[in-house]
Amino acid sequence: MTPTDVIEILGAANPLPRGVAAALPLPAGESELLRGIVADRSGTTVRAVRVHRRVRRKFALGLAVAVAAVAAVTVVPFGGGGGGPTPAFAAALVRFANSTPRLLLQIPGWHVVFVEQDPSGGGEMHFARGRVNAQGMPATSLTGEPSLLDRYAQLNWGTNQIERRFIQSGRQNIPTGLGVPVRRLQLEGRAHGWMDVIASLIFGNREVSLRMTVKNMSDLRSALLALTQVDATTWLEAMPPSVIKSANSGSAIRQMLEGIPLPPGFDATKIPGVNTTQTNYYLGTELTGAVACTWIADWNQARTSHNTAAESRAIAAMATAPKWPVFRWMSRQGAWPQVLISYAKAMRSGEVTEGRPGIPLVAAVNSGLGCAQLGVHLGPGSNDFQPVPLGSTQIR
């Protein structure tokens, strides 16, 4: 069969597959390298301290400039938020809003169409101008009609944890001529006279990146200046209808779980972060993910203890996944249902193959569905998806 997925095709072009890399004969070079590293005494501690100090100064400067830039922006009334009485948002939702960078692209005619934040604190928002499609987003194809290209923008932000780990790259704001402090500016592509650009900036203690399609650098400057940090109420008022208000989350959870066979003792309210979930789709991934993880944990336990009845029960429950009502609309918005269903099908063999040497299902599921983050521990083998030990010729 000819592969049609580009990732699969590209996989066949891997110049050094994992198993081949593991088997390369490197008799002395690696041990010499490790001994050389261990012998390195080139002022490790002093150098580390110096790097930290330098980075901190850069951040302080970047923050000051960023705040000044935001303060200089004239705030434009946004979306449908102005005028009426201020809605009273539940405390949980306000806490959630405050856990995000609370940024809005305050350009007249633009509105928020999508927002997600995962439990670790990183997230994504999409902004659109004009109408959006059934998925809540404008088309993003490079080969689409030119008029579509300036209708959307995407904002991403990382978690504080990730930033602490990765932000110490020594990068600083770069001279762009935009008059806006930018840490990184990258042209991803050009099409029909438009530029697809990603700009990274610092807001507060977080790095955010704005990706949008612009005609020229002046448009980009305007957009970056319109990226504004607002208070929690203003931010929540700008949310699209797909955002689940916390007051409605209980009924939303009940609706989404309809028609799904639940594992014994399953309690959706115990899923970490479920009460601060922001969109229907993301809530759907958390709920169905927790259900699947729990069934697969039961299945794993049953296999370990040779309890064939419990094993069959878990397999039968997960075999219904293609017909879960919530997947009818979720499958139009993303690949989550498809991935989960593929794991359900793999329960009979216990391995996920995808055309390559198999990966134990529990390890694949743990990584693919994020079971640990959903509060479900899959049991033996769930952390076995590791690279090969030195000198081994096995894939895992």
Partner 1 sequence: MTTDPPGAENARAREQRLDALYAAHGRSVLAYAVRRAADEDDAADVLAETFLVAWRRLDDIPSGDQALMWLYAVARRILANQTRGERRRQRLAERLGRELVSALETVAPSEPAAVPIVAALAGLGPDDREIVLLAAWEELSPQQIGAVLGITQIAARSRLHRARKRLRALLDHPAEVDEVDQLNIQEAV
138: contact with partner 1 by CB under 8 A: no
Binder to partner 1 among 261, 334, 350, 379 (CB under 8 A)?
A: 334
At its nearest, how many Å lie between partner 1 and the CB of residue 291? 19
Residues 107-126 that bind partner 1 (CB under 8 A): 116-118, 120, 122-124
Residues 313 and 376: their CA atoms lie apart, in Å, by: 18
1: contact with partner 1 by CB under 8 A: no
Binder to partner 1 among 101, 136, 138, 158 (CB under 8 A)?
A: 158
Task: Report how far apart, in Å, the C-alpha atoms of 380 and of each of 101, 249, 303, 322, 389 are.
Answer: 38, 33, 10, 27, 19
At its nearest, how many Å lie between partner 1 and the CB of residue 120? 7
Count Cβ atoms within 10 A of the Cβ of residue 29 and give its class: 0-12 exposed, 13-18 middle, 19 or more buried.
exposed
Residues 269 and 112: their CA atoms lie apart, in Å, by: 28
Single out the segment in contact with partner 1 by CB under 8 A; choices: 96-104, 166-174, 239-247, 315-323.
166-174
Please say which residue, 55 or 310, places its beta carbon nearer to partner 1: 55
Question: Phi and psi of 87, rounded to 5°?
Answer: -70, 145
Contact pattern for partner 1 over residues 19 through 58, marking x by CB under 8 A: -xxx-xxxxxxx-xxx-xxx-x---x--xx----------
Residues 393 and 111: their CA atoms lie apart, in Å, by: 53
Strands (E), the chain: 103-105, 110-117, 123-129, 152-157, 184-191, 194-203, 206-214, 227-229, 351-352, 359-360
Contact pattern for partner 1 over residues 201 through 240, marking x by CB under 8 A: ----------------------------------------
Please say which residue, 325 or 387, places its beta carbon nearer to partner 1: 387
Binder to partner 1 among 141, 205, 251, 338 (CB under 8 A)?
A: 141
Residues 360-389 that bind partner 1 (CB under 8 A): 367-368, 370, 383, 385-389
Query: Hey, what's the torsion of the CAs at 304, 310, 312, 313, to 10 degrees?
Result: -140
